Structures are given as C-alpha cells and as structure tokens.
C-alpha cells in the first residue's frame, strides 16, 4: 500500500490496528512514492530498503523472544 496525506494516515491507522511494525524513514517513503506498485525497487534505493528488512528481522526476533 502507498499513499500521501490522509491516505497515508489511514494506512498507518490500519497498521497499528493490526500490530504491524512501523519503520519511519521520510526520505525513503517519498522516494518510493515514485515507484509504481508491482515495480522493482530502483538500485539507488537498495541500501535503504535493506535497512528496512534488517530492522524488520530484528523486530520479529524480539517479538519471538517475548
């Protein structure tokens, strides 16, 4: 899902409602708005996206230990 303004707020509300972890990186989010759904992530964003995956894996590991 992606969106700006009120759409973005609704996405965040739903994520919180379902306990989906939320990673905040405004620059990455703004860059990803230019990428169409189902389109590959541009190579210039790989490093930032990898950081999200690392954060997510650590979050999942912490949740499993709890």
- Asked if residue 33 lies in contact with residue 2, where contact means CB atoms within 8 angstroms, the answer is yes
Q: Give residue 15's pLDDT.
A: 95
Residues 6+ apart with CB under 8 A from 14: 20
> For the chain, what are the domain ranges?
23-65
pTM: 0.74
| Per-residue pLDDT reduced to its tens digit, 19-59 | 898 999 999 999 999 999 999 999 999 999 999 999 999 98
Q: Give residue 63's pLDDT.
A: 81
What is the per-residue burial (b if ≥16 Cβ within 10 Å, else e) of 4-34? eeeeeeeeeeeeeeeeeeeeeeeebeebbee
Query: In which band, very low, low, confident or very high, does the pLDDT at 61 lie, cut at 50, 70 and 90?
Result: confident
């Amino acid at each position: 899902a992606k969106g700006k303004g009120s759409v973005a707020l609704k996405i965040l509300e739903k994520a919180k409602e379902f306990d989906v972890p939320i990673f905040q990186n405004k620059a990455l989010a703004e860059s990803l708005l230019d990428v169409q759904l189902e389109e590959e992530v541009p190579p210039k964003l790989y490093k930032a996206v990898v950081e999200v995956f690392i954060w997510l894996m650590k979050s999942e590991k912490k949740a499993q230990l709890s």
